[in-house]
Structure 1
Amino acid sequence: MAEGSGQVAGGHAVTVGSATVDIITIIASRDIERVTMANATASFLLLEEGRKIEAEGITIHPGGGAANTAVCFARLGIPAAPLVKIGRDLNGAKVLESFAREGLSDRLVRYTDELGTGITVMIASHDRNAAVFTFRGANTLIRAGDIPADAFAGASIVHVAGLSNESADQHPDIVRRARKAGAFVSNNPGIRQLTARGEAFFAALSDIDMLSINRIEAEAMLPGLMRHGGPGPCRDHLPDNPPQLMRRGLVGSGFDMPLEAFCRAVHRLGPRYVTVTDGTDGAYLSDAGELWHCPPLKVKVAGTVGAGDAFSATLGAWLMEGRGAESALRAAAANAAAVVAAIDAQSGLLRRTELTRWIEAAPPDFVARRLV
């Protein structure tokens, strides 16, 4: 365990998903054009063919959903072991070096010669919400034989990050075995899991304690929820001064559903906790039907990569420890803000004592509010 982490008593964490090497390029706003659609929320960075663009900096960092969340747990004092697959290459060696530096266990790291270690290349400018090119590589090759019988033995929390290709095929078995081992099971799936493997994902919800998704992923779930019982019950009236997503609801694939009804529909399929993040409009947490909202903690944005991992892991850790929804939301939002204040996914992650100081120093409006 890294020095100063403030290790807490109890079990350990296992994280499942990807480990990557992240190459981050920062380009001055004046050197790259951005186009924002008038009738949509999407923005685009324009790269001119054949033109060399001056960068303010190009740096290399560790990343990937399982790696980021493992570091988050470790800095919060929860020993962590990432279950990842890497290539036998220089980038794989960099991943292992970062694990050793953070005090992570490598007992569940698996190796392959079939594909290289995953790499992402990020281009950030303007508001620093990076465009990402990804080579998933070895991250796609987690197979049943890579998951030992005792993988989750003694774990207090198992966090499953986004999985793709062959690795995604293991998702139902992973959450089933984690639940059987007695762990708190948190899941932050990628949108491809929700669309390409929707039926398998919905069937696995009964083994998940906490589902963590963003607004776009929630909207991708709407067709599946309609096939699995439709919306849950919700109140006819909104609370005073409702946040944007509470007012707007979820809209996608020809369906619309109030946020409260969405959360209750997911609860019905298994998870006690459902959290939906909505970028600068904050995050929502439904605890068995009690819906809470927390605004983001405002910081100067250096990069957005890894914020979702920090939020999910911190929230899961607090809920696993039996802390209430209000405390968990504020801690998760604060740790995510610390990550946003750094360029990469891991260097901003806070240790438990640091996180406490961030929360104590937050402005008065950084308050989690119960909506229903």
Structure 2
Amino acid sequence: MNEFTKLKALTIGSATIDIIASVEDHDIERMTMHNATSSFLLLEEGRKIDVSSIKSSVGGGGTNSAVALARLGYRTGVFIRIGKDLEGQKIKEVLAAENIDTHLVVEDGAKPTGQAIMVMSHVRNPTIFTNRGANTALTDDEISPAMFDGVDLVYIASLSGNSAACLTKIARLAKQAGSFVATNPGIRQITYWAGDIIEALANVDLLSINAVEAEQLALTLLPKGQPVATDAPVGDGPALLEKGLGGRSFESFIKEVCSLGPRIVLVTNGAEGAYAGTPDGIRFHPASKAEVSNTAGAGDAFATTFSAYAAAGADLARCLEAATANARAIIAAPDTQSGLLSKKEIDTEICA
């Protein structure tokens, strides 16, 4: 029996139409910096580049998380902002096909539905051009306590532009309604809306971020702690446990963030794996190898799946195993949603 079917979820975040262009390696140059972690795709000015495929799909953190939760069995609704255009209607059609409640979807008469163009080549880690459109225009007036009535899990994906100012109210009302509150803020949100995030964390159960975002959070929000001796890992253990973050040990970072409110801090570190920390300790789970088709959406799949299991009372080990399985499935898919698994598929894979 799937116990998730008894639970209700609401996701809040962005909705986009993703246009994905796949370019063969020999048709585009790639430059990697030897003294940094950055790589660049080089596009020749004025040149028309042949691509192996161009596909269109629905994406964005709000919709990706909604589809993930619906496939896991949660009775899922979504609170997003779209334009009054064909792209917005396409998003509503896809959500309805996944049995996701769309009655809270806001249609903006002034701004268009968000769109993104992804260029994929070489290591399949896409460069993304984005027009956030209506995603930037959520307002406090559109958020009411009734939205959260009877909701077991409120998942707040990254909020764009002025929508980020709504995080504090969303988290407060969700917590007052008795929901398990999970949030996955993006790097721009952490950088430019630091005060709002630190205020919202008092009402957050689970904070999910990647290692780059964690470094920014450590440097931006938290006081300096015990400095570490080197920026490079000093042993062969999990990298963040060896390296630390923001001039402090990783353990100190987790405790400092938990002191702001969250019971669990989830930090993903790409191909290395993920760390789930509480005031009592840290559990590391290595990533599993998979054929990579597209890395976009992997973070959404991981954080949402972890949240779904955590809200249902699963322990950290189970949450990490389930999240890893769903993220592995999504990076093997050509877009951000088609590879998402059901709970039965995840549990079968974990037990295999």
Distance 2:3 2:320 in 1: 21
Q: Partner of 2:318 in structure 1?
A: 327
Matches for 1:1-372 after TM superposition, within 5 Å:
8-227=4-223, 230-231=224-225, 241-250=236-245, 255-361=246-352
One-letter code aligned to 1:249: G
Superposition deviation, residue 239 in structure 1: 12
Q: What do the CA deviations read for 1:60-118 (whole angstroms, capped 9, x no partner)?
A: 00101010001010000001111000000010011011011111001110011111000
TM-score (structure 2 length as normaliser): 0.95
Question: CA, structure 1 residues 85+259, in 2 after alignment: closer, same or farther (shift >3 Å)?
Answer: same
How many residues align structurally? 348
Shift of 1:8: 2.8
- Name the CA shift for 1:158/1:233 in 2 (closer, same or farther; >3 Å): farther
Quote the Cα distance in structure 1 between the aligned partners of 2:344 and 2:235. 35
Cα pair 2:266 2:276 within 8 Å, conserved: yes
Q: What secondary structure sits across from 1:353 in the alignment?
A: helix
Amino acid in the other structure paired with 2:334: I
SS at match of 1:304: coil
CA apart distance, 1:29: 0.8
Cα distance in 1 for residues equivalent to 2:131 and 2:291: 29
Mapped partners of 1:231, 1:12: distance in 2: 40
Q: What is the rounded CA distance, in whole Å, between the counterparts of 1:299 and 1:148 in structure 2?
A: 42
Structure 1 CA distance for aligned equivalents of residues 173 and 82 of structure 2:
23
2:255/2:278 contact within 8 Å kept: no
**Unaligned residue ranges in structure 1 (runs of 5+):** 362-372
Q: Give the 3-state SS of the residue equivalent to 1:150 in structure 2.
A: helix
Partner AA of 2:319 in structure 1: A
Structure 1 residues 297 and 35: alpha-carbon distance in aligned structure 2, compared to 1, 3 A threshold: same
Root mean square deviation, CA, Å: 1.9
Q: 1:68 to 1:241 in 2, by over 3 A?
A: same
Distance 1:203 1:116, change over 3 A: same
Q: Structure 1 residue 165: deviation in Å? A: 1.8
Q: Give 1:166 shift.
A: 1.8
- Matched residues in 2 for 1:286 and 1:45: separation? 35
User: Following TM superposition, by how much is the alpha carbon of 1:18 offset from its aligned partner in structure 2, in angstroms?
Assistant: 0.5
Kept after mapping to 2: 8 A contact 1:233/1:264: no
